[in-house]
Structure 1
Amino acid sequence: MEPLRYYHDDSGLECGAIIELADGRWAGIEIKSSQDKVEQAAANLNRMKAKLLKNPQARAKAPEFLAVLIGVGEFAYQREDGIYVIPVRALGV
């Protein structure tokens, strides 16, 4: 089983869940209660991605995907910036 991590740095930037595979692939997921929090969560994910990729010494790869998991929503979709918005009920729970 792959580790599930939380990201928080010294600038206050955070991400609710990071899935990291042994080969360096990773994904970031923000967890929010509803659709009205998606814009802020997506901005956080984009800032985190930009910060990690701008440091060549970190050797971070681009994420496999970024997503906002929301508690209330009708359907999953992909935003123009590539971030997925997924209601928890779309996961079958």
Structure 2
Amino acid sequence: MKSPIFYLRDGRYGLIEIKLGGDDNIEHGAKTLKKLKDTIDTDRMKEPVFMMVLVGKGKYVYRRDDGVYFVPITCLKD
């Protein structure tokens, strides 16, 4: 599955990987995002402003040390 790209109105964008859960799946999602980011030709376009692993369950959003956000879908309701 390809990672969705979220475009903002001002031209910035972010990369999203969707995983149903489990620490191994979340880690795999983060690796996939970082690998995708490394393929972007930054001479032709800007880097993504965020990378996010969207998961099914969780209580809070956090930013990992590698810059990837962990976001439970339930946190997007408000």
* TM-score for both structures, normalised by structure 1: 0.71
Q: Does 1:83 align with 2:68?
A: yes
Q: What is aligned with 1:48?
A: 36
- The reply to whether residue 25 of structure 1 matches residue 12 of structure 2 is yes
What secondary structure does 2:16 align onto? strand
| Aligned length in residues | 77
For the 8 Å contact 1:68–1:84, the answer to whether it is kept is yes
Structure 2 unaligned regions, length at least 5: none
- Contact 1:26–1:64 under 8 Å retained in 2: yes
Residues of 2 paired with 1:86 and 1:22: CA distance? Answer: 22
- Answer with 1 or 2: which has the greater Rg: 1
SS of corresponding position for 1:52: coil
Percent identical among aligned pairs is 38
Evaluate the alpha carbon distance shift between residue 71 and residue 25 of structure 1 in structure 2; reply closer, same or farther with a 3 A threshold: same
Deviation of 1:35 (Å): 3.8
Structure with more strand by fraction: 1
Q: TM-score, normalised by structure 2?
A: 0.83
Deviation at 1:91, TM superposition (A): 1.1
Higher mean alpha-carbon deviation, 21-30 vs 40-49, is at 21-30
Q: Which has the higher contact order (CA 8 A, sep 6+)?
A: 2
Which amino acid in the other structure matches residue 48 of structure 1? L
Amino acid at match of 2:14: A
